[in-house]
């Protein structure tokens, strides 16, 4: 379980979240306004209605610490304007749907790759101190367009530390699996679909890494605090088979195998064997260190980390930790979704 460490470093500062109206962005806003003394949280996103929803969901006191920028990461000039006076950036904006990427590849490249470049350039030019970018298990040995764009984005953020020069900007990435209950993910889909009497399951062998929004937010903020620049932060999280997840969400439903969608894998990977020689393991996460001439290879080991053995591989099929069904049920019941609340009521009533 990832714990949220001290966030005193945020006191009085200004933090911007690209894609800040998404699932993770809203969770970060909850934490930043409720548990830290950050001076200002800036929401940068494209959808003015979602910004309106976020603003109206906050108290007057909280709104005094919020700022909103309508903009797109494809627009470098707009990013530079938004980044003025910002100390830290969490780059969460991305196009994520795998089938959509297969049929709209150039749009995904514009947002996920060119958008990453724009974030990097703006951060360096304006004087942002630290940037943490969100990546995905799909970036490891990618077989789909979305994963390829996230791999490219990771490489850009890692390499950008070599050309920020004397400017303060430093860049790292966090790489994790499926967030339970996030927008567009499988759990809300199954919850909505269960009244049809069956659930479509792509492949009965399929496994995935799973974590909660709280865990993903903690990983991001802890990385933002502890990063040197160039690391990829990977949480230690459980796996679960899709058929087990479907059984928890809708035990009364038939499972119909429909086949893997374009660009999907049977199993996902968070750390490849090629990354192992540069990976340091901690109690609740890994750090994949960069290959830089100036990099202190002993720094993370000196913080209590243990270098991984050659050949180590962290994938969802061979994971040593598995998400138990009762724990998944607890997580689903706690989701802030109408369909999850209905599911929890049905479960309590034995329906």
Q: Which domains does the chain have, with CATH numbers?
A: 9-348 (3.40.50.720)
Burial zone of 309 (CB within 10 Å; 0-12 exposed, 13-18 middle, 19+ buried): exposed
Number of neighbouring beta carbons within 10 Å of residue 82: 24
Q: What is the dihedral of CA 236, 282, 219, 131, to 10 degrees?
A: -130
Binning pLDDT at 50, 70 and 90, where does residue 327 land? very high
The whole-angstrom separation of Cα 333 and Cα 347 is 9
The whole-angstrom separation of Cα 148 and Cα 142 is 6
pLDDT digits (tens, 9 = 90+) for 73-99: 999 999 999 999 999 999 999 999 888
pLDDT at site 1: 46
Radius of gyration, CA atoms only, the chain: 20
Max intra-chain CA distance, the chain = 63
247-274 mean pLDDT:
90
The pLDDT of residue 297 is above 80:
no
Category of 176 on φ-ψ map: left (φ > 0), alpha (ψ -120 to 50) or beta: beta
pLDDT digits (tens, 9 = 90+) for 95-107: 998 889 999 999 9
pLDDT mean across residues, the chain: 92
Residue 101: alpha-carbon gap to chain centroid: 18
Is residue 227 within 8 A of residue 170, CB to CB? The reply is yes
135-161 mean pLDDT:
96
Burial zone of 312 (CB within 10 Å; 0-12 exposed, 13-18 middle, 19+ buried): middle
178-206 mean pLDDT:
88
SS3 175: strand
The pLDDT of residue 263 is above 50:
yes
Concerning whether 138 is annotated as a catalytic residue, the answer is yes
125-139 mean pLDDT:
96
**Residue of 138, 150, 236, 265 with catalytic role:** 138
pLDDT digits (tens, 9 = 90+) for 220-238: 999 999 999 999 999 999 9
pLDDT at site 2: 53
Q: Which of 270, 9, 237, 296 is nearest to 137 (CA)?
A: 270
pLDDT at site 293: 83
The whole-angstrom separation of Cα 275 and Cα 307 is 11
Is residue 71 within 8 A of residue 46, CB to CB? The reply is yes
The whole-angstrom separation of Cα 155 and Cα 148 is 11
Binning pLDDT at 50, 70 and 90, where does residue 131 land? very high
27-45 mean pLDDT:
96
Is residue 177 within 8 A of residue 268, CB to CB? The reply is yes
pLDDT at site 174: 98
127-153 mean pLDDT:
96
The pLDDT of residue 165 is above 90:
no
pLDDT at site 350: 67
The pLDDT of residue 219 is above 70:
yes
Phi and psi, residue 311, nearest 5°: 90, -5
The whole-angstrom separation of Cα 25 and Cα 47 is 13
237-252 mean pLDDT:
93
Percent with pLDDT over 70 in the chain: 99
pTM of the model: 0.93
């Amino acid at each position: 379980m990832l714990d949220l460490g001290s966030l005193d470093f945020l006191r009085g500062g200004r933090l911007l979240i690209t894609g800040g109206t998404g699932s993770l962005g809203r969770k970060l806003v909850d934490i930043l306004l409720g548990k830290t003394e950050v001076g200002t949280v800036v929401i940068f996103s494209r959808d003015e209605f979602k910004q309106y929803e976020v603003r109206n969901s906050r108290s007057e006191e909280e709104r005094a610490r919020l700022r909103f920028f309508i903009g797109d990461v494809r627009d470098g000039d707009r990013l530079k304007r938004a980044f003025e006076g910002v100390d830290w950036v969490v780059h969460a904006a991305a196009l994520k749907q795998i089938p959509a990427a297969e049929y709209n590849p150039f749009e995904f490249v514009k947002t996920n790759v060119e958008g990453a470049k724009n974030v990097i350039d703006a951060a360096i030019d304006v004087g942002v101190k630290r940037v943490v970018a969100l990546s995905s298990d799909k970036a490891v040995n990618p077989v789909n367009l979305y994963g390829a764009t996230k791999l490219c984005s990771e490489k850009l953020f890692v390499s950008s530390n070599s050309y920020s020069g004397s400017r303060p900007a430093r860049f790292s990435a966090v790489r994790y699996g499926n967030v339970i209950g996030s927008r567009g993910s499988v759990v809300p889909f199954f919850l909505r679909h269960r009244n049809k009497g069956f659930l479509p399951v792509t492949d009965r062998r399929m496994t995935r890494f799973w974590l909660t929004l709280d865990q993903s937010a903690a990983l991001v903020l802890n990385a933002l605090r502890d990063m040197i620049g160039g690391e990829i932060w990977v949480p230690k999280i459980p796996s679960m088979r899709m058929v087990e997840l479907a059984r928890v969400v809708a035990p009364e439903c038939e499972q119909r195998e429909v086949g893997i969608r374009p660009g999907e894998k049977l199993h996902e990977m968070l750390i490849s064997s090629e990354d192992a020689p540069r990976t340091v393991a901690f109690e609740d996460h890994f750090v994949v260190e960069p290959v830089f001439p100036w990099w202190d290879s002993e720094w993370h080991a000196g913080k209590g980390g243990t270098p991984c053995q050659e050949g180590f591989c962290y994938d969802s099929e061979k994971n040593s930790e598995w998400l138990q069904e009762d724990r998944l049920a607890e997580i689903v019941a706690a989701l802030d979704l109408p369909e999850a609340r209905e599911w929890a009521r049905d479960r309590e009533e034995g329906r």
